[in-house]
Structure 1
Amino acid sequence: MAWWIFGLVIFSLWSLCASEKCSNRWIHIRNLPSSFNLDLLANCSEYPLLDDLCPYTANHGLGQKTHNRSHSWYRTDPSMLELIFHRRMLEYPCLTQDPSHANAIYLPYYAGLDALRYLYGPESNSSAQHGLNLFHFLQHDNPSIWARHMGHDHFLVMARPAWDFSQPLSNDPPNWGTSFLELPQFFNLTALTLEARACPWQEHAVPYPTSFHPPTLGLLDSWIQRVQRSKRHVLALFAGGGGVSASPNIRRSIRTECDNTTADSSGYDKLCEIVDCSNGICEHDPIRFMRPMLQAIFCLQPPGDIPTRRSTFDGILAGCIPVFFEELSARSQYGWHLPEAEFEAFSVFIPKEEVVFKGLKILDVLQRIPRSRVRKMREKVLELIPNVVYGKHNSSPGLRTKKDAFDLAIDGTLDKIQSRLQELDFVM
């Protein structure tokens, strides 16, 4: 009997600690029909305008390993963030089965994958319908969960830029994109996207997934040490495509300046290097760009079709100081992971207009930065590496003590929802 009482006391103390740890952090995962998530994976090879996405669904969205003995490196496609996030949510320590007890409701809906049939498939003329099936389900299956706060406490992940979901409902015939984020029914929920628009309050950008997903704290620390020890022989590197058209743009300016660099006398093997990633050849082959990034001090991150790019996070992972040419490329996007107040401490900003239209030389700007400041910037970039890494699911307890991109996204989402509910005088 004494042992039974002792066990009950221990369990009670554990429950109390768990309750305190999870105060204001409880999340309920909405039980959606598989047609909203797992069934969508069956269509991974049905879009001829895209690469076959099926290999990238492996390992719960991490993709296939880069080589058989790899423990941390995968051929990850950014469009699989919804799978990665869903798998990590299943391990979240503060889950509750009771939605009325939850501070937030997670919708495991693979919105980006479901959007493919409207973006690339036969339903492109019906893109204003994207999301309506989900809303009808939420209205009819235990509607009190949605009605409690009219969706203000709900959130989901959308593994594409928000622009792909923001086509005006009035467009007829429709242009590129779906109208999910323009549906009045979803104005209240929080959407975690790879790139957010400037105005809508409900969107917030989270990092593009890189190819690095360590399962242990030791492997993460080992990588950071390798990055710290890496010899930097190149001043600036651009890994990407584009910039070959005759029209003036920042990528063309970068290529022209890099191609015209002369021998350097300041101790660098090269002032500028280009890793040509045209036609997506780098996207699932991290060795192509990670090795050069490890040898560069600055990584140039020009906008392309959209302001943001995955390379920003690959570069930070390699300890390469990012150089931005638009505020929308990162500073006004990823505040939970790349603190806006500290941006000058780890990045360089050069307005693209100064380069493209006024002849400002990027390499001149970078060479004028004092070496002492460069060292401090690199140290800050090293500190940010855990912030932009999505650790592997089922990771070691040690790794869970260090917050990664997923953890920071959850913290930010909970704070965002709580703040919103307080503004609207809801009582959680």
Structure 2
Amino acid sequence: MSIHFFFFFSVLFLLNINSVYSQQTGSDLDPEQECTGKWIHIRKLPSRFNLDLLLNCSDYPLYEDFCPYLANHGLGHKTHNRSHSWYRTDPYMLELIFHRRILEYPCLTSNPIQANAIYLPYYAAIDAFRYFYGADYNSSAQHGLHLYNFLQQDNSYIWNRNFGHDHFLVMARPAWDFSQPLGNDPPLWGTSFLQVPEFYNVTALTLEARPWPWQEQAIPYPTSFHPPSIALLENWIERVRRGHRTTFMLFAGGGGLGSSPNIRRSIRDECENTTIISNRFIGSSFTDVCRIVDCSNGVCEHDPYRYMRPMLHASFCLQPPGDTPTRRSTFDAILAGCIPVFFEESSAQTQFGWHLPEDQYEEFSVFIPKEEVVSKGLQIIDVLLGIPKAQVRRMREKVIELMPRVVYRRHGGSMEWRGVKDAFDLAVEGTIDRIKSRVATRNSS
């Protein structure tokens, strides 16, 4: 436990130092040129809402010890000592990553009245562990109420000015995990945070949004790639562009091993029967028709080498839905220059509109309805073979063009990145625009 306390106080020290620095540098900018309409105030919350929660990183035996993933402000440990950009990142640590990055945001203000948006540095997904696995399992409808009570008691005018419409937070799990109906008895999986009326007005940035609530917005899952400089990002892009694609299609994931029909089972069956169609690839540059990287039991989650190397050599990366429609693998594929193949529209097209162009999905991805594959016997490979080679090249170039938009760069060196927007920058930009629209609508009604 002494290691955990050392980690806690180290993080606390760094966050305090950077908070002071960021507030000062944000105020030094010319507001007319840089920050008009972009000001963010970071709400000061007691440590029980964020840093204290990290002390419990090994206290959930039904989950796993997530202490190793807290390193480097949520990026995790480097994949190897000499690595500059690659980390063993757990996507559920996005709240830490976001918190650290927002301390570098150039338009921070200590005045909440001046702010266009107010950020709540609450680690909602980490706090939810005690409701998922801990002693508070039967109290999941209470998730978030302690935060609301604090916001009402501490400088309540900040909240009451717009009744939460100008507040936002990050919830590093799919929104479904926070959408348990109030009053369920016995409780189902998840908490009721997004069902609590007190938070209806707050913008929630999640890893996957439900189709109907306006306040949720999906932002990219963190990959393991966090370049500290534009040069390292460009070097990676050039490596991807020069890569030799020797696998026609690839699936990295688990599932599909049971007898019941589903899209993952269909993918596995088709890949196992590639000998039947391999003669169609004679004379081509592909040595593998279909490859499966088995990621069962979470073996790939914190080991990017297991799947990134195969993806770099694949032309198409299959993205079937799992427990929920979206996958981190979608962003791993984009990072590898591998054209994603979706089987549900809710896997990406209706989710990540701030980061992936909603009206251009056919330019960088393929959509095959899963019902056509599972129930009607449509062969995935037949669809992909029907795409002209010139179009495949254009699609890959579009995928490569999207890379900076889905990468969370490493904290530090913010001035160098001026003009290059990563996943964090686009999330903040989209949040401010949405909040300003909501506040304007509320004030005009």
Bucket of the pairwise TM-score, normalised by the shorter protein: over 0.9
Mapped pair 1:344 → 2:344: no
Measure the CA separation in 2 of the matches of 1:39 and 1:117.
13
CA-atom RMSD, angstroms? 1.2
Shift of 1:423: 1.8
8 Å contact from structure 2 (residues 220, 331) kept in 1:
yes
What's the CA shift for 1:173?
Answer: 1.5
Matched, 1:333 2:346: no
1:115 matched to 2:162? The reply is: no
After superposition, residues 14-413 of structure 1 pair within 5 angstroms as 17-262=30-275, 263=278, 264-265=281-282, 266-395=284-413, 397-413=415-431
Aligned to 1:3: none
Match of 1:6 in 2: none
Give the Å deviation of 1:133.
0.3
CA distances 1:376-404 after superposition (whole Å, capped 9, x unpaired): 00010000000000000013532343100
Inter-partner Cα distance in structure 1 for 2:438 and 2:302: 38
> Paired residues, what number?
414
- Contact 2:141–2:183 (CA under 8 A) maintained in structure 1: no
Does the 8 Å CA contact 1:215/1:396 hold for their aligned counterparts? no
Q: Secondary structure at the match of 2:274?
A: coil
**Is the 1:166–1:181 Cα contact (8 Å) retained in structure 2?**
yes
Q: 1:426 to 1:27 in 2, by over 3 A?
A: farther
SS at match of 2:113: helix
3-state SS, counterpart of residue 420 of structure 2: coil
Secondary structure at 1:101's aligned position in 2? Answer: coil
Asked if the contact 1:217/1:396 (under 8 Å) is kept, the reply is no
Report the TM-score when normalising by structure 2.
0.92
Cα contact 2:104–2:414 (8 A) shared by 1: no
Asked if the contact 1:152–1:420 (Cα under 8 Å) also holds between the matched residues in 2, the reply is: yes
Which 4+ runs in 1 deviate beyond 2 A?
A: 14-20, 395-401
3-state SS in 2 of match to 1:300: strand
What is the letter of the counterpart of residue 331 of structure 2? Answer: F
Instruction: Give secondary structure in 2 for the equivalent of 1:401.
Output: coil
Measured after TM superposition, the shift of residue 230 of structure 1 is: 0.4
Corresponding residue for 1:424?
442
Does the 8 A contact of 1:238 with 1:274 survive in 2?
yes
Unaligned runs of 5+ in 2: 1-26
> For 1:91-139, what per-residue CA distance to the aligned partner results, in whole angstroms no more than 9, with x for missing partners?
0000000000000000000000000000011211000000000000000
8 A Cα contact 2:29 2:35, kept in partner: no
- Give, as a single letter, the amino acid of the residue that structure 1 aligns with 2:76: G
How far apart in 2 are the matches of 1:426 and 1:56? 45
Letter in 1 for 2:363: A
- Check the 8 A contact 1:28/1:102 in 2, yes or no: yes
Q: Is the 8 A contact 1:149 1:426 kept in 2?
A: no
Residue ranges of structure 1 left out of the alignment (5+ in a row): 1-13
> How far apart are 1:239 and its partner, in Å?
0.2
Letter paired with 1:38: L
Contact 2:255/2:265, CA 8 A, preserved across alignment: yes
One-letter identity of the residue aligned with 1:321: I
Map Cα deviations across residues 337-378 of structure 1 (whole Å, 9 max, x no partner): 011111110000000000000000001100110001001000
Amino acid paired to 1:235 = F
Q: Residue deviations 1:55-89, cap 9 Å, x none?
A: 00000000000000000000000110000000001
Residue identity opposite 1:391 in structure 2: R
